[in-house]
Amino acid sequence: MEGRIKEILQKALELIEDSENLENLEKIQQIRVQFLGKNGELTNVLRGMKDVAPELKPVIGKFVNQARDEITNRIETRIAELTAKSIEQKLNSESVDITLSSKRNPKGGLHPCSIVINEILGIFTQMGFQVKQGPEVETDFFNFQTLNIPKDHPAREMQDTFYINDELLLRTHTSPMQARTMISQQPPIRIVNPGKVYRPDDDATHSPMFQQIEGLVVDKGITLCDLKGILETFAKALFNENTKTRLRPSFFPFTEPSVEVDVTCAMCGGKGCRICKGTGWIEILGAGIVNPKVLENCGIDSNIYSGFAFGLGIERITMIKYGIPDMRILFDNDIRFLKQFN
Ligand code: DAH
């Protein structure tokens, strides 16, 4: 019997040594069952103790117990060894070099023109205007005809554009949204419409693509005073409280009368400087009382309703607001320039 126990012990220890890595932890548990479990090899030997001669029982019993203790100890040690080994392997393979400098993600920001658009829309929405957007590829009908610029009208010269075909073009201004709105909605109307517009110009103060915001108010009893009041409030909010506004007569086919609106130069406060070319005034937009012909073109009764409209250039206002001398800087997207606005 002693020989049998030795044999079992030997076998168990060999199996335990053999269990190489942590995946074999499971295997170790199996070994525990194989030798020490209910039907384990050593357990079965113990069961056979009833047939052992009484005088031998203490000796054999002690022997079996020693074998069981040894197997148990060896299993525990092996588990500890394998666990430590696996932790060390993990630490080595997943180590973090804390001396490396961190990766910086540069923060993005809004383009100065977008900042100005948001600001202007904010001012008008606070006054109860609704923001609308229209298509950049526009029909000749909405871009010109409804706005009282018939085919072959000389005013088309002012706004030559990129034609897609005889009827489709890249819109030359945001004014078509006036017509689109009036055709789809009866007064009262109070909208602003930001968007890109296109013209074949390219120099220090013109770009083939630029942005405008259009404004339109149509209701009963709207006059030039309403236009002046709204634009004065707007100019003070956009530039500063001391900004003054003046209207100069002008011409647009879709407004009658038409005006150009100047504000006192935000840079010098009206004294005269480089930005306002010494005059103290800067033109910021075109505007006027909606031509009754345009109202009628859009199905609005000009005997009941009247309105005012205005259109302003975003790049121009951005240049005035920030003292930018050349419009092309706004399109270069030089990071050193853009960073200054955020
Ligand atoms: N659409 C004109 C332009 O692009 C600007 C303009 C002038 C818009 C007068 C208006 C207006 O709504 O009333 O040159």
Domain positions in the chain are 2-93, 112-341
Residues 6+ apart with CB under 8 A from 119: 238
Q: What's the rounded Cα separation, in Å, for the pair 290 and 307?
A: 5
Q: For position 275, what pLDDT does the model report? A: 79
- Atom index in ligand 1 nearest the CA of residue 175 equals 1
Stated as kind and residue range, the H or E segment containing 31 is helix 25-36
Q: What's the rounded Cα separation, in Å, for the pair 197 and 137?
A: 9
pLDDT band at 97 (very low <50, low <70, confident <90, very high): confident
Least confident of 169-178, 222-231, 267-276: 267-276
Q: For position 22, what pLDDT does the model report? A: 54
Query: Is the CB–ligand 1 distance for residue 175 below 6 Å?
Result: yes
Distance (Å) from CA 183 to ligand 1 centroid: 18
Mean pLDDT: which of 38-47, 72-81, 212-221 is highest?
A: 212-221
Average pLDDT over residues 173-183: 97
Q: What's the rounded Cα separation, in Å, for the pair 192 and 215?
A: 4
pLDDT band at 313 (very low <50, low <70, confident <90, very high): very high
Q: For position 158, what pLDDT does the model report? A: 63
pLDDT band at 43 (very low <50, low <70, confident <90, very high): confident
Distance (Å) from CA 252 to ligand 1 centroid: 7
Residues 6+ apart with CB under 8 A from 146: 176, 179, 183, 294, 297, 298
Q: What's the rounded Cα separation, in Å, for the pair 194 and 211?
A: 7
Is the pLDDT at 283 greater than 60, yes or no? yes
Report which of 173, 146, 166, 153 is spatially closest to residue 290, judged by C-alpha positions: 146
Identify the CATH number of the domain defined by range 112-341: 3.30.930.10
Query: Is the CB–ligand 1 distance for residue 214 below 6 Å?
Result: yes
Mean pLDDT (the chain, rounded): 90
Q: Whose CA is nearest to atom 5 of ligand 1?
A: 311
Residue, of 267 and 138, whose pLDDT is higher = 138
Q: Is 136 exposed, middle or buried (0-12, 13-18, 19+ CB in 10 A)?
A: middle
Query: Is the CB–ligand 1 distance for residue 309 below 6 Å?
Result: yes
Distance (Å) from CA 305 to ligand 1 centroid: 20
Q: For position 20, what pLDDT does the model report? A: 67
Q: For position 281, what pLDDT does the model report? A: 95
Residues 6+ apart with CB under 8 A from 21: 82, 85, 86
pLDDT band at 122 (very low <50, low <70, confident <90, very high): very high
Query: Is the CB–ligand 1 distance for residue 313 below 6 Å?
Result: no
Distance (Å) from CA 310 to ligand 1 centroid: 6
Distance (Å) from CA 219 to ligand 1 centroid: 19
Is the pLDDT at 24 greater than 80, yes or no? no
Q: Which of 218, 252, 291 to mutate to test the pocket of ligand 1 (most atoms within 8 A of CB)?
A: 252
pLDDT band at 21 (very low <50, low <70, confident <90, very high): low
pTM of the model: 0.71
Q: Whose CA is nearest to atom 4 of ligand 1?
A: 173
Whole-angstrom CA distances from 147 to 5, 74, 220, 293 are 109, 96, 20, 8
Other CB atoms within 10 A of residue 231 CB: 22
Distance (Å) from CA 71 to ligand 1 centroid: 96
Distance (Å) from CA 258 to ligand 1 centroid: 9
Query: Is the CB–ligand 1 distance for residue 210 below 6 Å?
Result: no
Distance (Å) from CA 137 to ligand 1 centroid: 18
Average pLDDT over residues 125-149: 96
